[in-house]
């Protein structure tokens, strides 16, 4: 079968609909890519990016160290009160030294490492990945 011959047998209305569909699909893909790139590139030094970084580090600390330090009963107790840690202690325990990750406005506004509080809430069934994190940023001096 000849594909070009088959295409020529399709009526003009169907060809127009196929073109509209293809153009719409291309526009949708380009829009998705632009939104993704904008979020990742232009989201530099925003509070949201700082919170995401802190959540990632807290999750790493919890899964690698903290989860095994508690018994199931202790995790159940902490599910309502949470496990609090300040950002400085978290960074110290992870030996994380890139403090510029916690600056806003090109370094003009710095996150207060000792007053930024992270609360980790273990969740049932209390596995390594069962938790939520609440971050309270502080930019005071």
CA neighbours within 13 Å on the CB side: how many for 39? 8
Give the pLDDT confidence of 10-43 residue by residue, as tens digits: 677 787 888 899 999 999 999 888 877 766 666 5
Rounded to whole angstroms, the Cα distance separating 96 from 75 reads: 26
129 or 3, which is more confident? 129
Note the pLDDT tens digit of each residue in 61-104.
Answer: 999 999 999 999 999 999 999 999 999 999 999 999 888 888 87
pLDDT confidence tier of residue 1, bands split at 50, 70 and 90: very low
Return d(Cα 82, Cα 71) in angstroms, integer: 14
Q: Write down how long the chain is.
A: 141
How does the average pLDDT of the chain come out, rounded? 85
Contacts of 90 (CB under 8 A, 6+ apart): 54, 57, 58, 61, 96, 118
- 99 in Cβ contact with 91 (< 8 Å): yes
> Is the pLDDT assigned to residue 137 strictly greater than 60?
yes
**Whether 111 contacts 50, CB under 8 Å:** yes
* pLDDT tens for each residue of 36-54: 776 666 655 588 888 999 9
Q: Quick check: 51 and 137 in contact, CB under 8 A?
A: yes
């Amino acid at each position: 079968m000849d594909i070009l011959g088959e295409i020529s047998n399709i009526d003009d209305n169907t060809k127009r609909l196929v073109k509209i569909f293809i153009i719409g699909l291309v526009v949708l893909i380009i829009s998705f890519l632009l939104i993704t790139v904008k979020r990742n590139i232009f989201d530099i030094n925003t509070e949201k990016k700082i919170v995401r970084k802190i959540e990632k580090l807290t999750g790493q600390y919890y899964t690698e160290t903290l989860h095994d330090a508690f018994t199931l009963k202790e995790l159940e107790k902490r599910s309502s009160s949470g496990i609090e840690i300040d950002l400085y202690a978290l960074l110290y325990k992870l030996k994380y030294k890139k403090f510029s990750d916690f600056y806003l406005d090109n370094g003009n506004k710095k996150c207060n490492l000792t007053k930024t509080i992270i609360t980790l809430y273990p969740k049932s069934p209390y596995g390594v990945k069962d938790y939520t994190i609440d971050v309270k940023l502080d930019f005071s001096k």
